[in-house]
Structure 1
Amino acid sequence: MITQIVTLVGVLLGALTSFVATGWAERTKHRRVMAARWDERKLDTYVQYATCVKEIDSVAKRARQAEAGSTERAEFLATMEQVEIQRSALFETLVLLASPGAVEAAKAVNVALWESEVAAREHTGASNGPVLVELLNAYHSQARLDLGVGDPVVGA
C-alpha cells in the first residue's frame, strides 16, 4: 500500500512539474511573439512618421519656391496640409508605442517642421533644412535604441 501511495505521489508530482514547465514555456513564447509583433508595429510607425515629415518638408520647400498666387503653389500647400494630417495621426501612434526618448526627439522634429510649414504658408524663403536633418538623425538614433538595433556602420 505504501508503494502505491509513493508511486501515486510521484506521478502527481511529475504531472504538476510538467504542467508548470509547459505553462512557463508557453507564457515565455507568448511574450516573445507579442514583443516581436509590437516591435514590427513600432518600426512601421517610426518609418511612416519619418516619411511623412520628409514629404511635408519637400512639399513646403516647393511651395516656398513656387510663384505667389499660382495654382501650383496652392496645390503644394493643399498637399502639405493633407500630409500634415497624416503626420499628426502617426505622431499620436508614436506617442503610444515609442520610448520616451523617441517621443521627445519626434516632438523636436515637429517644432522644426511646423516652422518650415509656416515659412511655406507665409511664402518666405526661410528654410531650416539642416536643423530638420539633424533632428531627424536624433529621432532615428532614438528609434534604433528603442528597437534594440545598433547604430549603422558609417560609410557602408
Structure 2
Amino acid sequence: MGTLLTQLPALLGVLVGTLGTILATSLADRARWRRSQSIRWDERRLDAYVEYAHAIKESHAVALRMTADHRPGSHSHPIDREDGLARLAEADARRTIVWENLLLLGDEPTVAAAAVWRDAVWQVERLARGIVDPPPDIAVMLTRVNEARDAYYRMARRSLGVRGGSVEQSSALQQRFSTDQP
C-alpha cells in the first residue's frame, strides 16, 4: 500500500497530463474544423453572390438592348423583340435558380439589397416587354438600377469581409449618361 501512495502523485500527474493533452487536441481540432467550414461557406457564398450578379446583369443587358430606342443617345445595340423576349425568359430562369442559392447562403442585408436590385431591373424589363410605357425620364429608372447594384455589391463585400474602399459605379455612370445626352 505504501508503494501505491508514493506512486500516486506520479500517476495523477500522468492522468492530468493525458487529460490536458486530449482536451488541447480536441479544442485545436474543433477550431481547425470551424476555420475550414468558415472558409468553405465563404467560398460558396462568394460563388452565390457572383452568380446572382451575373444573372441579374444578363437580364438587365438584354432589357437595355430591347429599350435602346427609348433612350436617346444609347450605346446599347438594339435587339429584335422576339429574340429579346426569348433571351429575357432564359435569363429569368437562370436568375430564379441562382436566387435560391443566394437565399440559402447570403446574409440578410445582402439578400435584401439583391431584392431591391432585382426589382429595379424588373422595371426595365417591364418596359422592354411593353408592359409599361416609357417614363418621362428613363434616366431616373436606370439610375435606380445602378444605385441598387452598388448597394448589393456594398452589402456583399461587407458580408465577405472584403476591404479596399468603394467600388460604386452609379455616380460615374450617371455623369457619363448626362454628358452623352444632346
The TM-score bracket by the shorter chain reads 0.7 to 0.9
TM-score (normalised: structure 1): 0.88
Match of 2:87 in 1: 79
Do the aligned partners of 1:144 and 1:151 also contact (CA within 8 Å) in 2? no
Do the aligned partners of 1:61 and 1:120 also contact (CA within 8 Å) in 2? yes
Do the aligned partners of 1:64 and 1:125 also contact (CA within 8 Å) in 2? no
Q: Which has the higher contact order (CA 8 A, sep 6+)?
A: 1
Matching of residue 112 in structure 1 with residue 112 in structure 2 = no
Unmatched segments (≥5 aa) in structure 2:
70-78, 168-182
**Aligned AA (2:14):** V
TM-score (normalised: structure 2): 0.76
Matching of residue 132 in structure 1 with residue 145 in structure 2 = yes
Match of 2:73 in 1: none
Match of 1:28 in 2: 31
**Aligned AA (1:57):** H
Match of 1:96 in 2: 104
Do the aligned partners of 1:112 and 1:131 also contact (CA within 8 Å) in 2? yes
Give distance in 2, aligned partners of 1:151 and 1:112.
Answer: 27
Give distance in 2, aligned partners of 1:101 and 1:64.
Answer: 31
Higher mean C-alpha displacement, 105-114 vs 17-26:
105-114
Matching of residue 52 in structure 1 with residue 55 in structure 2 = yes
Give distance in 2, aligned partners of 1:88 and 1:22.
Answer: 45
Shift of the alpha carbon at 1:18? 0.2
Where 1:106 maps in the other structure, the secondary structure is: helix
Q: Identical aligned pairs, as a percentage?
A: 37
Are the structure 2 counterparts of residues 45 and 138 from structure 1 closer, same or farther at C-alpha, using a change threshold of 3 Å? same
Do the aligned partners of 1:39 and 1:147 also contact (CA within 8 Å) in 2? yes
Where 1:150 maps in the other structure, the secondary structure is: coil
C-alpha RMSD of matched pairs (Å) = 2.0
Higher mean C-alpha displacement, 23-32 vs 82-91:
82-91
- Partner of residue 143 from structure 1, selected from 136, 140, 156: 156
